[in-house]
Structure 1
């Protein structure tokens, strides 16, 4: 038997963040929600480049058309469209034959048909440039071959004839950017302010919280008007306006958590070892307040999106032709009886995002709870 003994290496400890990551990955609902949010973000970033439509492109011939998986124009709508264009040319259409990608027809007029007027076909959203294939009666009868412009509107179009799919994805960029960035501003300010006030306590806490009470008493619109005067109507306004208000609730939540954490044994031990105030806040107070903070953040993002919609309705937020989910839902609600798809699709994106944020927030709350370590 050998006198030497194998040295056992003690297992490496895991930090709070490593434990939280492991517990989060075990939560199927949270992981699925994270995937949904990632796919939603990816679709909003890349999707508008693949739809084939500009978000501000107006199709005058496709105003309020329903959502469809097949291409427009529909075959039954082509004769009426040809009739409208022929009336502009002051001619009568005849022998209309609809093929797969083109239409053949004749134009009859009591006087000479000016070929330059055929540009009306090209100006239409339904047809391409017309080509004369027959000329009779000294130019009073023309045979035409007109290509058909095929367009896909998977989500339909809005009241101005703009593709709703493209606008929904562009609106997602705006709503998610405003929701996440404004929430980030509120998160940073509120957590730092509330943790500092709760840990220091005493007169400092009293003064800091009275400042919060004073800011609570000021109306939200007052802040917005001041920011409009200084910054104009842009995204910076939205971030500052919402972040300058919503951090107040965050500060109160974090302060309440910090008041209880400051009395814990590990905080008292850190103070006895001479750890600085900043170190205690960074390593003990703030990490142990993340559970309720994360849950509140998942509620704050949709609240910010709704606030943005309210500001846009007042003319202080997003302006046309740019849009957001809140603006699209507001427009769709006004025309829900005639065009329900204008409400259904933006609302579906918003609801899916809210559900994913709630499930992810629950998963993060459980993962960041230090009592589960």
Structure 2
């Protein structure tokens, strides 16, 4: 099966050279917009392309406001601050995630609580969340959710839309509402993914996107906070060093952050966003071909959840066992086709091993059997 898969991948990308997991594509007006920025001399944090990128992204996602940041981690950090997360508090998230999710929580002085994922979404499980809260939390007289063990406030919940597949948002909203938790969506990987016709990152109080070089569109590095007008205005203020508007004076009225996305990067993002639907068409076509190839085989292809449109940022398969996974990784990488395992669980990281956690049976199993396959946009869709 491995040789058939490798041959199939090489046929899709029409090359005998090394095939990366996910390479950026610059087939639109990227050069034109970047050169326009250079010629304008506004290459840093002030410029027309920053405003345009924020407005275009808000329009595409259906968010009231988009605030561009230097990367996705910065976007999540500010989103958590706006959610009210304070030092010493707890924030619920999934153990099966990229480390940046947990690091943003730590930047606030808070600690993650690790909850299991669902196998069909690879994202935070509403039933596991409800079970952990029912057993380990209470609502105090002020309506605050607190951990029974030490009375710490549980302030927010951060699901991550793994590989672009939306989590069960309706059910998560119900649980978060019941327990007075602020829902903050880590939609770093899911630009172009929709849950019941609503874009990921727009259903919680706040959401964020990433435009890292390996994402479906890239600004080189960059992120975006998605939220309402009121929180968006606060996000813009905090991410621009909390500087009050003035013709020439420097007045900063609180501790802010230099998290602004440079105009140069925003120019790249504007050109990339113009091609997003074409990229998604290509990636969904590739996913369909993978699914057809692997049907009935020992490799189970991960498909989008019901009532969702996934961007299929990274295609993934579930192997029969850890040994099967290791063999697939060795064979493909040994023959110049890049594949990779899913992340190690965050509760096993030395940095976060002391944190509270629930039963992580699904997460532990997925960690041992999931492999990502090459997922770059196919050149045939760029003609």
- Greater relative contact order structure (CA < 8 Å, 6+ sep): 2
Larger Rg, first or second structure (1 or 2) = 1
Same fold? TM cut 0.5 = no
TM-score by length of 2: 0.26
Q: Greater helix share, 1 or 2?
A: 1
TM-score, length basis structure 1: 0.27
